[in-house]
Amino acid sequence: MSDGSVTRAVRLAVAGEPPRLEEKVQLPVPGDGELLVELDHAGVNPIDTYAATGMVGDLARLPRTLGVEGTGVLAGTATRVVVTGLGTGLVRDGTWAGAVVAPRGAVVELPAGVDPAQAGAIGVAAVTAYDALHVLGGLRAADRVLVLGAGGGVGVVAVQLAKLAGASVVAQVGSSAKADAVAALGADRVVVADAARLVAELDELSPTLVLDPLGGAFTPAAVELAAIGGRIVILGVSSGENVSLPGRTFYRKGLSLLGYAGLVVTPERRATAIHAVAAGLVGGTLRIPIDEVVALDRFEDAAARLRERSVFGKVVLATQE
């Protein structure tokens, strides 16, 4: 629990060494353009593991509190906000804490009625799904959308958003464990396939828009499958960083391969996505499946579950005691 000047927080001191929960971390006095947020939930994302190893983030800004998304109330008020972006958890203190002092641009007010655990998971994966589909991908009702990694944090929201837009949606999962749950999100079809089997499984699909968080052998499979003039949005490389494309197929179909980088999205664009997702949550047209809410002191277990691929949707940390 924060007393306004100190807070408990999961801190990274040296990249590559285990982060630790510290009970009394001094909070800075909020300066001009900064806000103190009393956090209660914070999402766990693959990038947190990359940050802990030093693969992303500013190594000159250590020790640093981890966590790139979270929610709570503006100190002394009941105003619920999301904290994310502008280097949260990467170049400045993050959300795996009882409180954070954040720049105003990283704080977005939510409408009343958003479930706090789901609010803790809006900032990165849900924003990415919205922004990658609607802004970068130009999602239309006529699209046949293929969502790869559909049981993950980005995928579970992407499936629902594409259906809400009127598109048809085929969702890929790596094992049958998540298939029924993804179908319950509204996917027209769920295919259980690795990259090697994907093309054979979806031979007739001809997707016009592919959301690809997996990279590796999945991206060339998406090129083989895509319709003429199709768009492939690659936003992650969970299955492998090196992507080798069938170049002739790619240009003969006139495909577009679009890279999505949340780290360079403007605060205004991020806020638009947060408001759109929050409106869906309040209105009951959208939900962020929360697989588990884990106490802050079990942050390592939460991150391990993500790496083991046992999570459906999101794992969220409860940051207050």
Ligand X SMILES: NC(=O)c1ccc[n+]([C@@H]2O[C@H](COP(=O)([O-])OP(=O)(O)OC[C@H]3O[C@@H](n4cnc5c(N)ncnc54)[C@H](OP(=O)(O)O)[C@@H]3O)[C@@H](O)[C@H]2O)c1
Range 25-62 burial, b when 16+ CB lie within 10 A, else e: bebeeeeeebbbbbbbbbbbbbbbbebbeeebbeeeee
Cα dihedral 220, 251, 226, 237, rounded to 10, equals: 30
Residue 235 binding ligand X, by CB under 6 A:
yes
The whole-angstrom separation of Cα 230 and Cα 222 is: 10
The whole-angstrom separation of Cα 199 and Cα 151 is: 19
Interacting residue with ligand X among 2, 238, 272, 319 (CB under 6 A): 238
Binding to ligand X by CB under 6 A, coded x per residue (else -) over 290-319, reads ----------------x--x-x--------
| Pairing label, strands 34-43, 69-74 | antiparallel
Asked if 310 and 319 count as a contact pair (C-beta separation under 8 A), the reply is no
Kindly indicate which of the ranges 73-81, 146-154, 203-211, 242-250 contains the residues binding ligand X, using the contact rule CB under 6 A.
146-154
The whole-angstrom separation of Cα 211 and Cα 78 is: 37
Amino acid letter, 204: E
Of 121, 101, 94, the residue nearest 110 (C-alpha): 121
Q: Applying CB under 6 A, what is the total number of residues that bind ligand X?
A: 28
CB 125 to ligand X: min, Å? 4
Q: Which two tokens stand for residue 13?
A: 């001191």
Residue 185 binding ligand X, by CB under 6 A:
no
Residue 89 binding ligand X, by CB under 6 A:
no
Interacting residue with ligand X among 39, 173, 277, 286 (CB under 6 A): 173
Kindly indicate which of the ranges 28-36, 91-99, 223-231, 257-265 contains the residues binding ligand X, using the contact rule CB under 6 A.
257-265
Residue 128 binding ligand X, by CB under 6 A:
yes
Q: Which of residues 8-47 bind ligand X (CB under 6 A)?
A: 45-47
Interacting residue with ligand X among 110, 154, 294, 316 (CB under 6 A): 154
Of the two residues 21 and 217, which places its CB atom closer to ligand X in the complex?
A: 217
Residues in contact with ligand X by CB under 6 A are: 45-47, 124-125, 128, 149, 151-155, 173-175, 178, 213-214, 235-236, 238-239, 260-262, 306, 309, 311
